[in-house]
Amino acid sequence: MRKKIVAGNWKMNLSLTEGLELGAAIAGFVKNNPLDNLNGQPDVIMFTPSVYLVPVTEKVAGTPKLSTGAQNCHTELKGAYTGETSVKMIQSAGVINVLVGHSERRSYFGETNEVLAKKVEIALANGVTPMYCCGEVLDERNAGNHFDVVKEQIETGLFWLSEEEFAKTIIAYEPVWAIGTGVTASPEQAQEMHAYIRKLISEKYNPTVAENYTILYGGSCNAKNAAELFANKDVDGGLIGGASLQAEDFCKIIQSF
């Protein structure tokens, strides 16, 4: 059975006090509200700002099924890169996940698929799980190029990995036109792209790898639409933005399986 995941991306939000309070609330919920259904309890990941990684990780330590993650990492382990965070720093802080290629990193910081492949490589080499983000902008979808765009992002960023290495990654499909816009891809649109990604994995590796691989949806997923999105055969959870900043909303999403 594929691993189910609900991940919260805090982006550049919250004070340290607010972040610790949010982390504690989510940890308390996860401990006290195990899900009793066929899918089981999903793993929960909180992608915090880098300056909060240590205190939030320590705050939630020991909570089953709950971990923290970094929102980005550099392609090098060390060096004269003022303001950057290396994956070795992330790993040494007890953090086991990192976002790679979020649409905002691609758009605002010009990160290419080739650069992201290096980040995937260095994360895996240091025992950190990369959650690789992919997705099309509105013009690409309107032009009917959305499948080609996502295929190129995945092929360049991930498909150079061995089968064993690839199995240690996670993909998050985020239609850029549905992030922070209030517009959500319909359940049918989400399922269509997730099924397409799983087909690409099956063709590259094999059907068993594809069937056991976790693919998340990230595009204005919230407490109201999560259950409908997660009900799709090939949607294994969500990468949540704004709704992850409110404990009540985020915990409702965790319960949406």
Of residues 177, 252, 171, the one with CA closest to residue 219: 177
Q: Are 20 and 185 in contact (CB under 8 A)?
A: no
Neighbours of 51 (CB within 10 A): 11
> Is 174 an annotated catalytic residue?
yes
Residue that has been written with the tokens 């189910």 in this structure: 4
> Is 146 an annotated catalytic residue?
no
Distances (CA, A) of 82 to 47, 78, 85, 142: 21, 10, 9, 39
Q: Are 219 and 185 in contact (CB under 8 A)?
A: yes
Tokens representing 79 are 């060096």
Burial of 108 (0-12, 13-18, 19+ CB in 10 A): exposed
Neighbours of 142 (CB within 10 A): 11
Q: Which of 74, 102, 146, 194 is catalytic?
A: 102
| CA dist., res. 148 & res. 151, Å (int) | 5
Of residues 251, 257, 182, the one with CA closest to residue 31: 251
Q: Which of 111, 146, 174, 194 is catalytic?
A: 174
Query: Considering Cα of 58, then 60, then 64, then 66, what sign does the dihedral take?
Result: negative
Active site residues: 102, 174
